[in-house]
Structure 1
Amino acid sequence: MRMGLAANYLHHSHDEAALFRWLRACGQGIRELGISLHAVGRTYDAIVSTDLLAGYAGLVRYPYGREGGLMKLVAEVVGLPESGRVLDGAIYLINPVNPSSTFPEAVALKRQCVIHQKPFISTVASACDWVELERIHAGFAPDPNADGFHALETQTLALIAHDAMKPQMLAYAAEYFDLLSRFAHRVATGTTGQRLNELAWSRGWPAEQSWVHRYQSGPMGGDAQIADLVLERRCQRVLFFEDPHVARQHEADIQLLERAVTTVTDDAVCTTSPVVAKRWAQAAIRRAASRPC
């Protein structure tokens, strides 16, 4: 498994920075899985300045961002099969107030991950959660340190889908209805929420109860309302099925929600494609089945 890796300066500028918190939490899992981390220059330099991945052959250095390192990650997410340079996804720990997070190569990295249905991981929580789900798929025993990510009965889940992705969201919710019903609360923007409630009622959910709490539609501010939940740490997981091919008038609201997720980097997990969401759901089901009753 080959993953691109980059972190804004804030996230590797001191001993307790986000990059190092992730490596301390997941270094063993990275080694168990043999994940190859293709790290942009400064991120690579920051890692080797510590002993967190000492002696690990899977850490690969790419050029500095100013020399095209992030651009190379974008190309390899798309895939350069003639050279064997294909990445399975990208971890980009974003400082939401750093202007480099809006540079074309940064935006393109996320967009190409979404288009090619590969993980785009932008928070510490998402990175830890991803390592655990890959460990479960690889057959390793659950890591007790990851139990908090799977305490669904204490969490709120946001379910958001752009217009072209609403059928996939409904199909996903139908397939994993029992798992998603374990969450303490579910929230959604307008139309998606109505369709999800109709699905739940058709599955026997009490007709007098909403399966999801509906906020405004995205263009009317629903994304901003859910962003506030995230910032207040009242929403821990966001499934956001994005359509990267259509320009939207409320793009600023979408970006606001995504920036809110990265602002609370240790507390919010965000998934941006159906394929990655299904892989998480399958791991969550397997993990729950493996735990003692």
Structure 2
Amino acid sequence: MSLVATLICNPANPALDSTVVDGARAILPSAGAPQWLFDEVAVDIPFEGPIPFEGRDVRTIENRLREARGDLPIDIVVQPRAARRKKLFLADMDSTMIGQECIDELADFVGLKPHVAAITERAMRGEIEFEPALRERVALLKGMPVSVVEEVLKKRITPTPGGRELVMTMRAHGAWTCLISGGFTLFTKAVAEAIGFQENRANQLLTRDGQLVGEVREPILGRAAKLATLIELRESFDLDEIDTLVTGDGANDLGMIQAAGLGVAYHAKPAVAAAAAARIDHGDLTALLYAQGYRRDEFVEG
């Protein structure tokens, strides 16, 4: 079976050279010539694997490559070479496409960020159920002016590096892109527009007279709804599972990550990174383009 191992660095911290590549090739069975996607940052190494090639084979090869990599800040993605360029992209928002958790930033305006952030962290690690944790945190925001959302968006929210290049490059090659969040539409609409997503889905905070009422519209969009969205969009575009790319960082993302053709845990919680088929621990979001075999000169910036 034709496979490829992609070695990827953060562009801000390149660490790839011929010594690293040669070491990786020595581990891979029937390794072909390396194909540089971006000098010192990303390289494909094609190789041949057994048929059938199963998930445990991927993990074995990845683990060997990681051992050889040592402490170098290099991510490794191993996958079949066929259908690498995906036609549907679903992405989590908080701590994935942006660097913050929006609800934690809202809570800071009422002096409750440490308390709310602790609940958020436990929910994202899968230690507590997402839905009741969200209701508990939203209740603490009761009475907050809706106008605070604009202030948070302007002063607190920063897009993750590489996100717009990722979305716009995939769109330029015909993919449908959807931002999906267990957060709130008040944020996803603005973030999706800024980054370039064609669609966004999230929870709706209830308001009255310009203030948050401390409740979220039911049913809550959580892990099950994220997975259902992936299946719905895949079927609506008549795509196969292998045609889909999903990324996220928290426990409520794991269902859709595991059901994707390429499911990527992005700078994720330990349990999520351990369970996902692929993980990016060092790179920025352009790593998801390199994982699809895009060269740096194919990226769309606008």
Structure with larger Rg: 2
Structure with the greater relative contact order (CA < 8 A, sep ≥ 6): 1 or 2? 2
TM exceeds 0.5? no
More helix by share: 1
More strand by share: 2
TM-score between both structures, scaled by the size of structure 2: 0.37
